[in-house]
Amino acid sequence: MIAFIFAALLVVGAPPARAADAPPGDSLAALSVAALKDRFVEATDSAERTRVLDQIAKTAPVSGQDVANLFDLFSRFTDKHARDSVMASLARIAPGSPHLEPLFMTYLRQPEPEAQLFGVNGAFRLRARAALPLIRAIAERKFAASAVTETTMMSERNAWWTQYEALSVLAQWEGERALPLLERKGKESAKVGALLGRYYWRQTLPKLRAWSASGDLLASERAALAAAAPIDVADARATRDQMLALLRNTEVDFEIRHHLALKIGSSSNDEEAEALVREHDALADDAERLFWAAAVFSTRSPKAVPVLVRYARQTDNETTSKGAAAQLVDMVGEAEARRLIDSEKKK
């Protein structure tokens, strides 16, 4: 328990530039997405391919050729680096690019999940309103499996992730209007809990305890994933009192309390960090104190330094000791961290 607490057709315009068209000096930064894709395909050295993919991730598609080449790369190369680079490039599309909307509408209408996934992301970046009904239709399908790990074929896996991405896009695009749909889909797949936590934290937080205590495995997993989701500081501040009440409740699930402690701490100011230290120090139960230690440590406030020193020096758990010492080094530097720890040793 201690270790747990610490521890992604139509081609418009001129033909794409070839890799041979590279300017003097072979500057990848000066190449278009279409030319970069050709460079990637022609490269035989893995280091060069990595370099080109990294540049694609930094380059916005500006033409139909760029988009078509990104899709070709996305559909032909299924490794994570290639697909992440394509999605990073799509995320750089300029909002004022209506000439690209028909392309993504075409991809959305294709039967292949890879094409739909590509279309979902591109349409979202452009906020193409005509694409919303198509994205919602994808999101509303019944999940073929409760988790992607339960799929056996690559096509099933791609379809699963396409639906999940459609739900994510609707949450970000439509906000409250999409919430009922995500709540329904959360009953089919626990993974949707991560979206409910990330984009609807204020509405989801009050439901976490009931989900985790329901005795239903899917609901319990949904609660854990929602609790672990990253949230905006504004949402953490608005729900701080609710999170503290759940953290103090020993009947709430261990994993949920752990994630709440991290959210409370990371959104606390110095005064609140000091109050967390006091509550930590007042606890007699070692296991309970660890939740508050997690909250204190995640504040990264100077008020946490004395507690970090104590854990770095006094704990019998090596994982905790090393974690506290490493955070001290990150906060105050290696020399000062060593001085603080050594000075505690002399007491």
Mean predicted lDDT score pLDDT of the chain: 90
Q: How many CA atoms lie within 13 A of 87 on its CB side?
A: 17
- Choose from 73-82, 222-231, 280-289, 298-307 the range with maximum mean pLDDT: 222-231
**124-158 per-position pLDDT tens digit:** 999 999 999 999 999 999 999 999 999 888 889 99
- Residue 145 has phi, psi (to 5 degrees) of -150, 155
Cα 81 from Cα 11, distance rounded (Å) = 25
SS3 state at 257: helix
The pLDDT value given to residue 19: 40
Nearest to 69 by CA among 39, 112, 28: 39
Residues of the chain above pLDDT 70, percent: 91
The pLDDT value given to residue 8: 32
* 127: its two tokens: 């906020």
Task: Read off the pTM.
Answer: 0.86
The pLDDT value given to residue 299: 94
The pLDDT value given to residue 3: 43
Q: What is the DSSP letter of 177?
A: G
